Structure 1
């Protein structure tokens, strides 16, 4: 240390003629010129802070090395970043609390591009930052426990020694307009396994699913309307920095259908097994996993409360996780972990 101080899945060739989402629910895709680059858009997140953020850029003067007041304008800026999705995406920055996720984010981006995405570290007085982090790469600001508590939103700061202000990664995109093949390949370069989340509103579940997708080397995560912001502070705690390591795209079912056509992907959706289901049901097994090992696929998971949307049920072929117990279904993050483990490419060898 450096002291600076039963669940279902679906395969389908279902064609969608129109988007099921209203314009208000649909995030914005903005190509620039002919480069087909994607940009974060505050229109995807309704919040009164949008107008405020768009009018004023908050910066920390270069000579500031210590902050001791919770009334400091930059502290207030950081609190808004934590509390407001629109404010985060307007400024393109997010707060990450805790040594472990910060270390993982730094190491991943340092290895990948030699350009760490960490803009600033708030370090509690008399505490250390991980020795893996080169202090010449990031700005370090020393703060007291009151500032740490204010910025982190955590009342007990005994385990909070470092907070990082991190740029939202370039692998995160919000899209709404129709996609072309080159756009799809810009979002997911080699999609073999894509996790599609349908109205996952619980940030803990969403963060855990993103973490599992990264751990099992899936190629990306697609967020349908109704999902929470993956850079929500609770989602960040659950994913442990994984959302900075895997491509994440926010869009609608029309975009998913475009991916299916461009990459010839099979469509699967997790759903609790019920006796009144009319759709064919496949039991998840090693044989099934091996049968789709070489096929690009999307795995769609719905929320625990509402399950899959109707369009997801129609567009996908359902697959269930066999269970010996009497429970109707599993927690979505648990079920998602089982699905992603069984369907990961490296795991699909002949039985």
Structure 2
């Protein structure tokens, strides 16, 4: 088939456009300046187009031509900088090298021809340049597609004046693994949570690995980036939200399969392994149902939720909030020390949804102080 005439073929990693697109992936400040990010995959691009998210650039992957090979090795070539694909007729380029347009690249070109997806710029690059742009560790597909799309600022959802209620949100405390963040955003979106508050030191929500892990749902997920604990304190008070911290079970708790009483140690608290365990429950809070509005704090398995690396004032605010917060734990089998934070977050969000909507009674552990 003949490619749409608006496509332009780029060759050579030194090309200005390639450099700009690569910088967009690598540099947080550049993403903020341009207000755009790179996404990949035909399904993701189709979903973004259907949602009306503006697409600045669409890119397809074509098999490398001799000109591509020369340019990517750093040698000059008269047509290596920018070559129009308008000359492609019947699946062949002007130099008689066949153009193997298949898979996602063919699907995207067909969608463009039908008017289903539109952009301000259309590019075609080699597989090597696609890998460079996307920064994937494993080789990209022979016919991978990608797009430069506009980011949206949803942080107004966390303004005191916002009319949109935030009923359940995540508080990500120094989560540094972008894959984990992406999975939590994807799970939160699927489970109907309202967004996340990111404390200083948390990875950028527009990091390329976050985008891939979330299937680009991070573009629509409301985030308060760099929100301090003092600001969080004010927000929780204004919205009347309960702060809940994901934590390990206390040492005095014992997971009992079948609920049988322990004859060896009567001082141990028995925990039903098939539901979340709640503790540090406020005295004045009814124990028959969960609060309707919850902010769930999650931190990395390595650092945990501790008050350090903040200013003295922030440490005091954080310590007060954490000391008074409700704690929630996932009972685990003997010999398992912890769960991946994204897995734990998904489990907790789903269980919290069940308790809130069904008005179920939480399993509360009464721990002697």
Asked if TM exceeds 0.5, the reply is yes
Q: C-alpha distance in 1, partners of 2:243/2:234?
A: 12
Q: Which residue of structure 2 lines up, in the alignment, with residue 304 of structure 1?
A: 301
Q: C-alpha distance in 1, partners of 2:150/2:144?
A: 20
RMSD: 3.3
1:151 aligned to 2:133?
yes
Q: Which residue of structure 2 lines up, in the alignment, with residue 178 of structure 1?
A: none
Residue from 208, 225, 247 that aligns with 2:183? 208
* Bigger radius of gyration among the two: 2
User: Unaligned regions of 5+ residues in structure 2, if any?
Assistant: 63-100, 254-268, 279-286, 308-317, 361-369
Q: Which residue of structure 2 lines up, in the alignment, with residue 275 of structure 1?
A: 251
Residue deviations 1:82-127 (CA, integer Å, cap 9, x gap): 111122112211111222322332223x2xxxxx222111111322
Deviation for aligned residue 1:182: 8.8
Runs of 4+ more than 4 Å apart = 2-5, 280-284, 286-290
Q: Which residue of structure 1 lines up, in the alignment, with residue 238 of structure 2?
A: 262
User: Unaligned regions of 5+ residues in structure 1, if any?
Assistant: 6-62, 111-115, 174-180
Helix, strand or coil for the counterpart of 1:319? strand
Deviation for aligned residue 1:3: 9.0
Q: Is the 8 A contact 1:100 1:240 kept in 2?
A: no
Q: Is the 8 A contact 2:290 2:359 kept in 1?
A: no
TM-score of the aligned structures, taking structure 2 as reference length: 0.66
In the comparison of the two structures, how many residue pairs are matched? 276
Deviation for aligned residue 1:261: 1.2
CA separation of 1:346/1:285 partners in 2, compared to 1, >3 Å: closer, same or farther? closer
1:74 aligned to 2:17?
yes
TM-score of the aligned structures, taking structure 1 as reference length: 0.70
Q: Which residue of structure 1 lines up, in the alignment, with residue 159 of structure 2?
A: 183
Q: C-alpha distance in 2, partners of 1:209/1:309?
A: 21
Q: Counterparts in 2 of 1:1-351, with a 5 A limit?
A: 65-108=8-51, 110=52, 116-125=53-62, 126=101, 127-130=105-108, 131=111, 134-154=116-136, 156-158=139-141, 161-172=144-155, 183-186=159-162, 189-250=164-225, 251-275=227-251, 285=275, 291-292=289-290, 295-310=292-307, 311=318, 313-344=322-353, 348-350=357-359
Q: Is the 8 A contact 1:124 1:161 kept in 2?
A: yes
The range that moved more, 156-165 or 68-77, is: 156-165
Say which structure, 1 or 2, has more relative contact order (CA 8 Å, 6+ apart).
Answer: 1
Q: Is the 8 A contact 1:105 1:244 kept in 2?
A: no
Residue deviations 1:234-281 (CA, integer Å, cap 9, x gap): 11111111111221111111121121111110110101224289xx99
